[in-house]
Every structure is written in C-alpha cells, then in structure tokens.
Amino acid sequence: MERKGLCVHPCPRFCLQGLDFAGFTAHMFVGICLVLLVSFPLLRLLYWNKKLYNKEPSEIVELKHEIHVWRLTAQRISPASREETAVRRLLLGKVLALEHLLARRLRTFHRQISQEDKNWETNIQELQKKHRISDRILLIKCLTVLGFVIFTFFLNSFIPGIHLDLGWIAILGAIWLLILADIHDFEIILHRVEWATLLFFAALFVLME
C-alpha cells in the first residue's frame, strides 16, 4: 500500500504531491532565515533610540476617561435652578479632585520611569530573581517530551513504518507529559486549557479538509 504524506498545507496541489513535515520545514526554513536576516537589522534601525515601554499605564488612561465623563456630565447640566446648580458644583468638585489625583499619579509614574532608566540592570536582576524557574525537574521533563515529539515528527517523514500522523504524535506526547508531571489535581489543568482556541483550530482544520 502506498503511504501518503501528511498534508500540512491547505493548497490541494501540495496535498496531492504528499508534502510531509520534513519537506515543509525544509522549504520554509530558507525563507524564514531570509526574513530574520532582513527584519532584525531593520527593527534595530527603526527602534534603536526609542524606549519600548507604555507611555501611560492603564490606570492613568482610565482616570483620564473618568475625568472626561464627569466633565461632560457637568457641562450638560444647565444651572437653571438652585438644585441643578448644586449638582453641577458637586460634579465639578469631583472633576477637580480627580484631576489632582491624576497629577499625583503622573508625577509618580514619571519618577518611576526615570528611576527605571537609570537602574535598568538592577531591575533585570530583580526580575530574574523574582521570576526564576521554580521546578527545574518539570522543565527537563517538558523539554524531553518536546524534543521527542519534534524528533518523531521528522522521523515520520522518513520511515514509512510509523503509522501515526502528526496529530496522534502530539496527543501521545501530551499524555506522556501529563504522566511524567505527576499532577495530583487534574481539574486545575483542565481549567487552564484555552478551549476556545482549541475549538477554533479544530473548526479551521475541518473547514480545510
């Protein structure tokens, strides 16, 4: 029986030719290397003198939006009566209090930015200490399973005796990793799975077929 290569491209012409994982990787590798050689120097040239951080944090942006909403609400109230004048005065007082709060937060934010620019090496060391790898054994298990799965992907393209496609190899690798990880509370793992993304790709593959 003739063994058909696994289709890894949605084009029917490539599917009929039996393009496998190794062939697809070999053809794409040259193009990716060319893109990397061009894109990295270009990005370095474009952003060599720009600070890659957010100009304003989300809390400051939300505070500005809140001030804008309160100010519009106060402007829509016409001081035709004493009650409306009192309400408008309260709203303007709220706007003034929020503007003072915004000014304090902006000063604090600018001080933090200037301090980060001066002590960026210290900040990197603190991040490395804070977010260091806590379970090196689990990391070794993950890298071992990942390397075996990728090796089996390539092996599947050269040895016809392996009657497993890429999907089954990936599923077996995931099951193997769950066994090696020795997870006691499996429900926590299921809650952290992005089911919406999995359903999207499943529907996409069904549509491609």
Q: How confident is the model at residue 50 (pLDDT cuts 50, 70, 90)?
A: low
Q: Nearest CA to 98 among 59, 132, 48?
A: 59
Tracing tokens 């061009």 back to the chain, one arrives at 38
Residues of the chain above pLDDT 70, percent: 82
Please give the pLDDT value at position 23: 82
Spatial separation of the C-alpha atoms in residues 186 and 193, rounded to whole Å:
11
Inter-residue contact 60 to 106 (CB < 8 Å): yes
Spatial separation of the C-alpha atoms in residues 130 and 45, rounded to whole Å:
32
Please write the tens of the pLDDT for every residue from 115-152: 655 566 676 777 777 778 888 898 999 999 999 999 99
Q: How confident is the model at residue 25 (pLDDT cuts 50, 70, 90)?
A: confident
Q: Where do the domains of the chain lie?
A: 1-47, 58-130, 135-209
- In this prediction the pTM is 0.50
